[in-house]
Amino acid sequence: MSEKIPEFAVVGRVNMGKSSVIATLLEIDDNELIRISPTPGETTMPTPYPVKFGKRECVRFIDTPGFSQAVEAMREIQKIHGEGTPGREALRKFVEQEPGFADEKNLLRPLLDGAGVLYVVDPSKPLRDDFLAEMEILRWTGRPRLAVLNLREGKGTEHEELWREKLGSAFNLVRTFDAHHAKYEQRLLLMKSLLEIEERNRAKLEETISLIEMEWEERRLDAAEIIRDFLAAALKMRAQARIDEKDESLPSRRHKKEEELKIEYFEKLKKLEKTCFSELLRIYRHHLLKVESAAENFREIDLESVETWMKWGLSRTQLTLIAAATGAAGGAVVDISTGGLTHGLGTLIGGIGGAGAAWFKGGMLPDLKVDMKGGLKLSTGETKEMVIGPPASPNFPWILLDGVLVRYGRILEKAHGRHDVEILEASDEEGYTKHFPPERRKVLGKWFAECAKGNRPVGKDVDTRVLLSLEESLGDVERVLESSGNAP
């Protein structure tokens, strides 16, 4: 005999946000799977949404049609029952009778089959008789009942206390939830609330919650691995080309070749970033958060400006301490070619999406300075190899990492119940790296320095230390968002 799966029917009046609550709770932002629309009555039949881990279903949520004739349905049920308080038998007779009340009958069927109740209401609405009728009908089911106050952005809360008073007398538990802004912690809390109303399935629900927590930790580790590989590839990446010796001696032709390589370099970096964030969006199940737009433009970021150093990357003191701890020469030009020209990319890098964004897009590249320290290293023969590598500033990898972490925060902040398309971009806010503990900065700084030389350190211990450092950094982002009132 198969184990019974706990079920919870999400019910309420039309257009109260039932589908949005399910979408955010289960991280579904696909309109093909959950239809979210301002048009009332989009859900016409009960639709199950399973919570699965692997091939195993642990919990099932059921989206239902909204109440449309609650007062009339309540009177009909009372008529069927007669004197006293109606119960499940009267509700069953109501569902089986013909004709009429299609929405009410369809939403009651899963409840009569044993599902618990998640009743979604908008507390900005005045408490009318039809809402009271809905509560009464749901109370008659005798099923475990959780009322969810679905907060709406920009809506008033002057009716909330009255809602809580009435809901408290008809439901086992009342909780608030913002389907358009709830993040991981709020989703988890709502899942844990089910434990307080459903004792018979407690073991199954506890197991499901434990699996959700474990999966979230696995996602964070997977994200750290993706970011580690991106940073390594970005720091090792070079753009190079052969140049005739006679062309190298002509400033105009040499400058032309440099400009071509700069464009190539940033195009490569753009592709690396796009791949990195596409993978992060996949891990966190976002389809409507995009990584690029044709309308985006570059915004120049000066790594030597006071504003940039204060906002992203490390302070000069922190960079100096890391250089001393790791043996790196702070500010030294990275030797990016053997037997060819040595070029550092100066101190200007390009970014988009607001002040501080580190997107590298083609078309409007910033004026990248070419550092000619060390002179020209001529190769034998009639050609030389011109190689352009990452910016020479030792702050470059830290600013690159801050750009990743800030956008990681945007991914966590995007609720799946919002089905509007957005471009993933960094907001104008302070970075995270300057707040890292010294030991983490030391681990990452040493690894950055080696990667920038074109030689990613190998070895399980090195990879693990860097991976755990980045995972801790992602945890920092989550904690900052939580403490600011925007918890993931």
Domains belonging to the chain, first-starting first, are 7-200 (3.40.50.300), 217-455 (no CATH)
What separation in angstroms does the CA of 485 have from each of 184, 193, 402, 434, 472?
A: 13, 20, 21, 22, 20
Over the stretch 132-176, which tens digit does the pLDDT of each residue have? 999 999 999 999 999 999 987 767 778 999 999 999 999 999 999
pLDDT reading at 128 higher than 70: yes
Burial annotation 12-43 (CB, 10 A radius, 16+ → b, else e): bbeebbbbbbbbbbbebbeeeebebeeeeebb
SS3 state at 315: coil
HEC string of 336-368 equals CCCCCCCCECCCEEEECCCCCCCCCCCCCCCCC
- The more confident residue out of 432 and 304 is 432
Q: Are strands 56-63 and 7-11 parallel, antiparallel or unpaired?
A: parallel
Please, which residues bridge with residue 10 across strands? 63, 118
**Collapsing DSSP states into helix, strand and coil, what is residue 67?**
strand
Return mean pLDDT, the chain: 80
User: Contact at 8 Å (CB) between 397 and 235?
Assistant: yes
Lowest mean pLDDT among 17-21, 187-191, 437-441: 17-21
Quote the pLDDT of residue 292. 67
User: Torsion angle of alpha carbons 335, 275, 426, 390, nearest 10°?
Assistant: 10
- What percent of the chain has pLDDT above 70? 79
Give mean pLDDT, residues 237-265.
82
The residue-averaged pLDDT of 44-55 equals 88
Residue given tokens 């002509």 in the structure block:
250
Q: Which of residues 81 and 316 earns the better pLDDT score?
A: 81
DSSP state of 60: E
pLDDT confidence bin for 421, thresholds 50/70/90: confident
Average pLDDT over residues 108-128: 95
Cα–Cα distances in angstroms (integers) from residue 320 to residues 304, 309, 312, in the given order: 15, 14, 16
Q: What is the C-alpha separation between 283 and 225, in angstroms, rounded? A: 12
Mean local confidence (pLDDT), 288-317: 62
**What is the pTM (predicted TM-score) of this model?**
0.82
Weakest mean pLDDT among 199-208, 341-350, 457-466: 341-350
Position 44 confidence tier, pLDDT thresholds 50, 70, 90: low
Q: What is the mean pLDDT of residues 76-95?
A: 95
Q: Which DSSP letter does residue 8 get?
A: E
pLDDT of residue 31: 54
Q: Phi/psi of residue 287, each to 5°?
A: -110, -20
Task: Give mean pLDDT, residues 359-369.
Answer: 30
